[in-house]
A and B are shown apart, each in its own frame.
Chain A
Amino acid sequence: MYFDSVTLMGVSKRLLDIDGVEKVSVSMGTDLNKDLLRDSGMNSPETDQAGPNDLMIVLIHEEGADSELLLQKIEGELSRKPSMESEGGDVVPSSIRTALSDFPDGNVALISLPGQYAAYEAKQALRQGLHVMMFSDNVSLEDEIELKRFAHERSLLMMGPDCGTAIINQAALCFGNAVKAGPVGIVGASGTGMQEVSCLLDAAGVGVSQALGTGGRDLSEAVGAIMTIDALRALDSDDATKVLLVVGKAPDKPVMEKLVSEAGSLHKDVVFCFLSPEKYADEEGVFFANTLEGAVLKVLGRLSDSERILDVELPNKDQILKMSSGLKPRQKHLRGVFCGGTLANEARMIFKEECPGIPIFSNIAHEADEKLPSDGRCEFSSVVDMGDDEFTRGRAHPMIDPELRNQRICEEALDPTVAVVLFDLVLGFGASKDPLTPLLKSIAEAQSALAAEDRKVVFVGYVLGTDADPQSRSACIDELKKAGVVVAKTNAQAARIASELIKEVANHD
């Protein structure tokens, strides 16, 4: 039997690892190998006489070691069969460049790296002709502007930084919902805002062609809506898209003018949804809404198919009275506890409009006199965005890890001045696989503590999602209703029900 030298060197190496073996040499009896043995003093009369077809095994072992056993092990090594990995050598690409050489049809880079590295990789991706979606935040404004200009020159998407939602060709990237394909093209600087409008469109029987995120700063004066405008133009020339919908915070005047003039020059109608109390007048082909729900209603109005409707009817007075019955006179306040920042903002704006004169505080209020104190507590009504930086430092967003959020729901419910606890439940890709169970648990905990004090609060909830999402929306709604939660059909509707309740209890004495 012949063994090639490399195999035998491998055998020798493994034998050295066996306890008791000091030195070992397994080699064929060639002249060269016999010389090597002599040089290392491991030769013997037997090896000196070996021929090139003889296998020489020289073993120097510790005193007392079982030489028979060692020889058995050597035999085992020599008869060892190689593993039958036929080709293998699969290499996971370590850069965009190599990924592209292995998969030349790659077209989008999804980047969620730490901010300090994200811009560099995004540039590499754009340079190689990939569209980029950047979930990462903590990217400098200068880098953002450079990346977006670079992408613009190359007719590529640069979605983000800080872009958490997109739907491209019916696939949700990062956080998004399984919505029907349809005629509405969405461009958004706000993640949950885009999720809400896409789900409402789905609920109305209309679908979405594409939803392109831009990142929260795109509408700032410094960035100048580079990506919003590029995305609008792309959707304007897309045959599958009939109406355009832009979702974001109201920009400053120069950007607003730029956007409106751009929208006016497009072939398709554009609905702008800016969550701001300010009202803008519709123009030819350009429409405005200041709630997500309102924007969806405007979009539906732009579509010729009038069958598509969204049920936003509010409960009547009797129903509100029924919900609020049993609340104690001290219970006056609303506490909104949200996962979605834009949802929190929409709720806050609706409350302010519906309940003028009733103060409401929030961690995301820009108005100094409406800002929640730094401990996040107040003795009035409030809306808290649990996805804001202060709660997500060092931990996952509440859409992924809702523990803090659920605790907060329980705490707020137990505040004896609270009448209504308002919350959202965000489903979809990227979100927690089972956000319902822990939420129900927190609600049940609160309810049993309240019952012990012979009290109640009204829980008003909204489930953002579709029935095609991995977590079934209708099942969530059923379970929440069973738990006594008033479940609304839109986030705005939930905020209005909550507002009606607060107005109602304001009259209680």
Chain B
Amino acid sequence: MIKDLFKKELKVFNLGAPTFAEELQAQGVDAVNIDWKPVAGGNPLLLKALKALDPDVVDKANEEALSIYLQGEPYLVDYCVAKDVIPNFEDHMLLHAGPPITWERMCGPMRGAVMGAIMFEGWASIPEEAAEYAASGKVKFSPCHEHDAVGPMAGVIAPHMCVSVFENRKFGNRAYCPVPEGMGGKLLRYGAYSQEVIDRLHWIATEFREVMHAALMQCDGVDTKSLQFQALHMGDEGHNRNKAGTSMYIRAMAPLMIKSGLPAEKILPVLDFVNGNDGFYLSISMPTSKVTLDPVKGVKNSTMVTAMARNGVDFGIQVAGLPGEWFNGPSQKVVGLYFPGYGDEDANLDMGDSCITETAGIGGFALSGAPAIVQLVGGTASEGVEISKRMYEITIGENLNFSQPVLNFRGSPTGIDIRKVVETGILPTIDTGSVHRLPGEGQIGAGITHPPMDCFEKALIKFAEVYGKPE
């Protein structure tokens, strides 16, 4: 009611001339200046798309989408051979990170990973043959995301590799993720394909898998939502810093390994392997994110982003209301710090499926809780807090399961809304590792990156075509 306003304390949001806010403040009225920018950068096409959508309908669909995500009950249930569990994993198929890409367009590290995977499968025995084989058209390349999987960096999954198996017990869907091979540079996910790399993959697919499988058979799965919640309160953000999560993971798994009755000489190398890899938990946070986001796919009228992924060349997003479609733009540089001896000229563009964590409201979205790594952003802890706070402007809601202590335990900003990204011009913040542009050189630093705006603009325009009301 209008007259109710006359009984309230006036509180004004000022959009435009700041002097109007100052004049109100001079009268003792609470006036908040809004740092306004033209909606959608003033682009008439995008403005039209935004106007074509009925906000009530979309908001309602987004609430539903977010609630589906929040209800998810992710569990780590097994470690298996990829082709035995991953759906539609055809013969001579290799999965990779990001949106679809051909061998011709792949960046260096992804090519290296593909070559390594070909040798791992025994389709070729030396790198030259492997490259030839990859180019021959005999290999089918397909994005992990199209097979319920996610892979870090190059994200290459070959049929006989070991993957973790996650289950969303609320909705019954599954998700898969390769096992992290360790720290350093000589890893398949960075495009290394030396014998050492391939041998390690075989060890993971056999001995490592045997122990992990046996351990998980001792329990009814490991509740990874709870692991994630605890790790976020211990200085992790679930993408770039995973020390706490890795510790929690060992704490969950070690008793199960013992319980399995396997001999210590089998268990110890596996425990050592995990313990020696501070980043191991990324392989838990990624599929946990994926398996809870996937049921959101196909929610009609919802503009919630269900996946963000990059293949080192293209950055692609997927949107709930437009299931199965990729909206791509160029992958961006990672801006941050380099390990000694490396610089901008060495860096590949942003790569990997790991920003599924940001899609799920952690990673860069929960940076406020990971002060130990905010220096990557350029310095102060308050900058990390600022980044987290910014993300509330482009998200649908908050995830109280993942609360941020520094923000008085406010839930992490969750559910990227393509409308809000386009409206505000604020891009999701991804804090990630940067990889050398040459195969097998490995990680060379870490920092902050963003998706290109193109992804969101293209998605919005398509979304308005599908769901918008005609003028």
Contacts and interface: CB of A to CB of B under 8 A. Distances in A.
A92 interface: yes
B17 interface: yes
Interface in A67-85: 82-83, 85
A388 interface: no
A108 B29 CA distance: 11
A444 interface: no
B34 A91 contact: no
A40 B11 contact: no
B16 A105 contact: no
A134 to B, nearest CB: 9
Nearest to B19: A430
Nearest to A152: B2
Contacts of B390: 91
Contacts of B8: 105, 107, 169
Given A117-B39, A121-B39, A470-B26, A108 B13 contact: yes
Interface in B22-52: 23-24, 26-39, 42, 47, 50-51
Nearest to A112: B16
A90 B388 CA distance: 11
Interface stretch (B119-127, B308-316, B378-386): B378-386
Interface in A161-194: 168-169, 171-174, 178
Contact of B2 (A91, A173, A230): A230
Contact of B3 (A91, A96, A171, A237): A237
Nearest to A119: B51
Interface in A199-237: 209-210, 230-231, 233-235, 237
Contacts of B341: 23, 25, 36-37, 39-42
B418 to A, nearest CB: 15
B389 interface: yes
Contact of B32 (A4, A37, A106, A430): A106
A92 B12 contact: no
Contact of A96 (B34, B55, B184, B373): B34
B368 A94 contact: no
Interface stretch (A123-131, A264-272, A325-333, A492-500): A123-131
A425 B17 CA distance: 23
A288 interface: no
Interface stretch (A6-14, A454-462, A476-484): A6-14
Nearest to B18: A112
A105 B383 contact: no
Given A40-B340, A430-B23, A169 B6 contact: yes
A26 interface: yes
Given A35-B184, A89-B386, A127-B55, A94 B424 contact: yes
A95 B11 contact: no
B375 interface: yes
Interface residues of B, number: 72
Nearest to B343: A16
A304 interface: no
B36 A155 contact: no
A98 interface: yes
Nearest to B376: A6
A155 B2 contact: yes
B262 interface: no
Nearest to B378: A10
Contact of A131 (B5, B9, B385, B392): B5
A253 B55 CA distance: 38
A360 interface: no
B247 interface: no
B32 A93 contact: yes
A92 B35 contact: yes
A224 B233 CA distance: 58
A98 B393 contact: yes
A398 to B, nearest CB: 16
Contact of B11 (A33, A42, A86, A106): A106
Contacts of B5: 107-108, 131, 157, 168-169
B149 interface: no
B386 A88 contact: yes
Contacts of B11: 103, 105-108
Given A6-B337, A25-B341, A171-B24, A238 B6 contact: yes
Given A85-B380, A109-B15, A127-B55, A99 B32 contact: yes
A173 B24 contact: yes
B15 A96 contact: yes
A230 B381 CA distance: 50
A490 interface: no
B375 A10 contact: yes
B183 interface: yes
Most chain A CB neighbours (cut-off 10 Å) among B16, B385, B426, B445 = B16
B87 to A, nearest CB: 38
A1 interface: no
Nearest to A8: B340
Most chain A CB neighbours (cut-off 10 Å) among B3, B341, B423 = B341
Interface string B369-404: 000110110011111111011101100000000000
Nearest to B14: A110
Given A93-B35, A110-B16, A157 B23 contact: no
A396 to B, nearest CB: 10
A89 B383 CA distance: 6
Contacts of B26: 429, 470
Q: 7 smallest A-B Cβ distances: which pairs?
A: A40-B341, A89-B385, A88-B382, A25-B340, A112-B16, A234-B2, A9-B337
Given A9-B376, A94-B424, A169-B10, 18 more contacts: A4-B372, A10-B337, A36-B340, A87-B385, A94-B36, A95-B424, A97-B420, A100-B13, A103-B30, A106-B11, A108-B11, A112-B17, A117-B38, A121-B36, A171-B28, A233-B2, A234-B2, A238-B3
12 contacts: A12-B340, A23-B341, A93-B35, A93-B393, A103-B11, A107-B10, A117-B42, A135-B20, A169-B8, A171-B10, A209-B6, A233-B2
Interface of A: 4, 6-7, 9-10, 12-13, 23-27, 32-33, 35-37, 39-42, 58, 82-83, 85-103, 105-113, 116-117, 120-121, 125, 127, 130-131, 135-136, 155-157, 168-169, 171-174, 178, 209-210, 230-231, 233-235, 237-238, 240, 429-430, 470
